[in-house]
């Protein structure tokens, strides 16, 4: 039976994708060095280990939507599921490095995007939990199939600048806002009525109106 060790060696934005994605470079080492591995069908569950980093006051304020008031974080700050991805690792002996592509989003209704967007810098602790099936050559016993041990995992500290660089590649100086259709229709009618050219200017006009002091009759 192969004796595996999994390690994430680096992460970077995928630059040839139509949508945002990060690629993590996964090193798989079989400590039974002379035992050929024919293939691994690998599943990865990726968790954001939010309790394993510190947060400055601005980040704490931005994360209220996810975890509530900072005073309650001892009860509310928990690990967050980021993604589930699968990959096929081809045959190797000893060590192989394979890309793990993780699709991302800038939809701030999604917890992982909301979390990353709130951070100003530093690193994000993430944990890869592995499962799957390994096909290998056991010598005299021939071709064998076995599950990837359930306790296999790899920890990595993702620099937040890598996530921000990926977002900037696809959405430079842009943020997305998801609205209910009836709210959008009302906003659109206001835009047309006021003769405003863009939705950005429409929102700016509404913000200016909200800052004006209320008249007291």
> How long a stretch of residues is the chain?
217
Query: What does the DSSP 8-state code read for residue 216?
Result: P
Domain co-membership, 163 together with 195: no
What is the model's pLDDT at position 23?
97
Which pair of structure tokens corresponds to residue 64?
């209220």
Q: Please name the residue that has the structure tokens 């016993």.
A: 141
Domain co-membership, 123 together with 206: no
Q: SS3 letters for 145-182?
A: EEECCCCCEEEEEEEHHHHHHHHHHHCCCCCCCCCCHH
Domain co-membership, 78 together with 130: yes
Range of the domain at 193: 181-211
Residue 16 lies in a domain: yes
Beta-bridge mates of residue 133: 41, 147
Helix (H, G, I), strand (E, B) or coil at 126: strand
Burial (CB count within 10 angstroms: exposed 0-12, middle 13-18, buried 19+), residue 20: buried
Q: Residue 174: which pLDDT band, with cuts at 50, 70 and 90?
A: confident
Domain co-membership, 162 together with 186: no
Question: How many structural domains are present in the chain?
Answer: 2
Domain co-membership, 186 together with 160: no
Q: Round the average pLDDT of the chain to a whole number and report it.
A: 91
User: What share of the chain has pLDDT > 70, as a percent?
Assistant: 98
Domain co-membership, 84 together with 109: yes
What is the model's pLDDT at position 95?
94
Domain co-membership, 80 together with 44: yes
pTM of this prediction exceeds 0.75 = yes
Q: Which residue has the higher pLDDT, 164 or 216?
A: 164
- Give the residue from 173, 155, 162 showing the smallest Cα distance to 21: 162
Q: Residue 140: which pLDDT band, with cuts at 50, 70 and 90?
A: confident
Q: Which residue has the higher pLDDT, 199 or 166?
A: 166
Domain co-membership, 95 together with 202: no
């Amino acid at each position: 039976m192969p004796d595996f060790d999994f390690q994430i060696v680096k992460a970077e934005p995928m630059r040839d994708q139509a949508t945002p994605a990060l690629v993590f470079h996964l090193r798989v080492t079989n400590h039974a060095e002379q035992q050929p591995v024919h293939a691994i069908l690998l599943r990865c569950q990726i968790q954001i280990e939010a309790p394993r980093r510190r947060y400055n006051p601005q980040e704490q304020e931005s994360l209220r939507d996810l975890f509530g008031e900072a005073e309650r974080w001892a009860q509310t700050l928990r690990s967050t599921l980021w993604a589930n991805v699968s990959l096929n690792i081809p045959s190797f002996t000893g060590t192989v490095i394979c890309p793990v592509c993780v699709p991302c989003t800038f939809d701030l209704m999604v917890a992982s995007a909301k979390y990353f967007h709130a951070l100003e810098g530093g690193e994000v602790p993430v944990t890869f939990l592995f499962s799957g099936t390994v096909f290998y050559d056991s010598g005299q016993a021939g071709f064998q199939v076995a599950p990837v041990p359930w306790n296999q995992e790899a920890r990595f500290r993702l620099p937040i600048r890598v996530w921000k660089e990926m977002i900037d590649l696809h959405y430079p100086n842009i943020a997305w806002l998801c609205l209910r259709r009836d709210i959008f229709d009302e906003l659109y009618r206001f835009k047309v009525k006021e003769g405003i050219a863009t939705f950005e200017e429409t929102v700016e006009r509404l913000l200016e109106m909200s800052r004006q002091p209320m008249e007291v009759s």
